[in-house]
Structures are given as C-alpha cells and as structure tokens.
A = this chain, B = another copy of it.
Amino acid sequence: MKLAFDEARKGTDTWLNPKVGAVIVKDSQVLASGHHQTFGHEHAEINTLNNLKNISMAKGATIFVTLEPCSHFGKTPPCVQRIVEVGLKKVVIGSLDPNPLVSGHGVKYLKDHGIEVENLNIKTDLNQAYMFSFNNHRPLVTLKYAMTLDGKINKFSNERSLISNSIAYDDAQDLRSNNQAVLIGENTFKTDNPQLTVRNKKMKFPPVRIVLVRDVNSVDLSKRIFENQAKIWFLSETKAHRNLPDNVEVFVGDWNVKNILNLLNEKKIQALLVEGGSKIQSEFAQAGMIDHLVIYLAPMIFGNGLGACNGQNQQIKTIEFQKPKYKFLGDNIRISTWRKK
C-alpha cells in the first residue's frame, strides 16, 4: 500500500479528482503500478492494469488501491466493472471514497461480484481538500496574507504596499497552485491589480480566479487579470449588460460568505484560497470559515495602516488555531496553522 501511495503522489493535474495510486501483486511479486495523472483521463486502477505486460496476468491477483474504486460513469467508465472483467481476486483499499456517487457503492459492487475487499481505513492528507469538501459540503478555506509585525497588510486602502520578499512571493505562488480557486475582494482587485495566476508552474487546470464586485458592469477591462486565459468568475450584485471576454463567467447574488461557499460547493471547488483584502478576510473570520491560515510575516512596522482583518462586525468571535508551524523565507517568517478541531 505504501507503494500505491507513492504512486498516487505522482499525479499533478488531477484537478477536481483525488490523487490515487495502485499496485497489482501476485505471489508476493509486484506486477504493475500506476496512478491517476490527469483529470478526465484514466483512473489509477485502469492505468495500472494497462501497465501489466499481459492483461491475463490480472487473473487471481490482488490490487492495492489508495481509494475505493469508482462505480459510476463519470468522464471514464466505472473501474469496478473493469476489475471484475479482468479477474482480479482481491481489492485492498486505503479508504472509502467520500464522494457520495462512489462511497460504499464501489465496495458493494465488488463484493456482489465475488471479489474479496479489504479496507485499511488509512488516514492521510494526500487528498485533504477532496475529503474535506465531501465531508463538509463546502471547500476547504485557506486564508493567506503578508503582514508586518504590527499586523498591517497595507499602509493605505488605495495603494499597494510591498511587504513580503521574493521568496515569500514564490511560496505564495505554490500555495495558489494547490487550490482550485482564489478569491479577492473589489478593493484588492482595484488597488493591487493582480493577475492571480500561477507564474512558476505550467498548469493544465489553473485555479479559477474569483473576484467579488458590487457591479460587474463597472469593472475596468484593462485590468491585468484579463491578460491571462484562466477562468475568471465575477460574483456580482448586478447582471452583466456588456460583452465580457470568453473566459469570464458572472454569478449574480448576495455574496456573503455562506452564499459564496454554497456556490463553490455546487461548482465542486474543493479548495479555496482567500487572498484579501482586509474586509473579506474579516468576513471569513467572522463567519468562522477559515480552516487553514498561511501568513508571511515581514520584519517591519508601519505604525498605522490597514490591518489583516478589518470589518464592521461588532460581535467578535475568536477562531482558535493549532500550534503553528514556521519557516524562515529569507528574513520573512512563514507561519501556517490549522484550525483547532
């Protein structure tokens, strides 16, 4: 099973799918291994079967697969059907798939077809956001900001202040690449004018760039976000009465935190990165919707300015986090922590 997990980690473009690895064993010999590589393409089980020298070798063998094999027609036919067809004798799974389309159905199908199934119930953070989103019916929310030692993320609300160093900047790009969507508010959109792309990595499925705006019709189309073809979703209070680029979608509604997360859940987004500014960060904090926190602390003090969270709410609720992890990035400190359970 360890080999299967090593395989699983090789998947880089699985997008909304979990990372899954598999190994086929007979008479204590590893016959083949494989993993799910790209969203929409073959699952780990199928790739592993295809890696056998001869498909007839599957007969009577055991497959170790990190996650319950699927039992539904999605982008590809169900894996359990193929497992039965090729005559595998036993399936050992890392855990059940939390996706209700699969969960338990895969195991049941296999057992109904006379295949022995063992569930090792392994806890892993391999597909943390995937597991989280199915269990909580909303994406896992990471909040990220660069902050001075006096808790400021900007000097002024209408001008961008450089706070983090270039190593922290690169680290933040990696963080972005591990999420399926990044979200910013209107003020950050106007002031920082970010591209919200992943610059240090080629991605088949870059994160969706989500911008909260009051009126999508007032958006300045010369902003840098439009220089890139990755998806853009505007969450607007008003309908669009104008032509927008092809990669733009507009969702109209009352975009409080609850409604945002409901939309993203419907859209199957499992991991959301909130990238500011102050007001949105405060709203996510007040809604209790921060699961993971990443802070780049820069050794400077402004003495005044815009705090990391700055909201209107008068009923302040504390969110407690676990003992943080920290790491130096040059003279910046990266602090990360998970919400207390």
Contact = CB atoms under 8 A, between A and B. Distances in A.
Query: Chain A, interface size: which category?
Result: 35 or more
Contacts of A304: 282, 285-286, 309-314, 316
Q: How many monomers of this chain does the complex have?
A: 2
B301 A290 contact: yes
Contacts of A312: 304
B300 A335 contact: no
A318 interface: yes
Contacts of A317: 303
A302 interface: yes
Given A151-B147, A152-B151, A323-B331, A303 B297 contact: no
Interface in A278-335: 281-282, 284-286, 290, 293, 295, 297, 299-305, 307-314, 316-324, 326, 328, 330-331, 333, 335
A150 interface: yes
A337 interface: yes
A297 B336 CA distance: 12
A149 interface: yes
A292 to B, nearest CB: 12
A156 interface: yes
Interface string A129-149: 000000000000000000111
A303 B321 contact: no
Contacts of A326: 326, 333
Given A149-B335, A149-B337, A304-B313, A299 B322 contact: yes
Contact of A335 (B282, B297, B305): B297
A281 B281 CA distance: 24
A155 interface: yes
A152 B286 CA distance: 14
A285 B150 contact: yes
The 4 closest A-B pairs by CB, nearest first: A151-B151, A285-B303, A299-B321, A323-B331
15 contacts: A147-B151, A149-B295, A149-B321, A149-B335, A152-B307, A156-B316, A286-B303, A293-B301, A297-B335, A299-B323, A303-B313, A304-B314, A323-B331, A324-B333, A333-B335
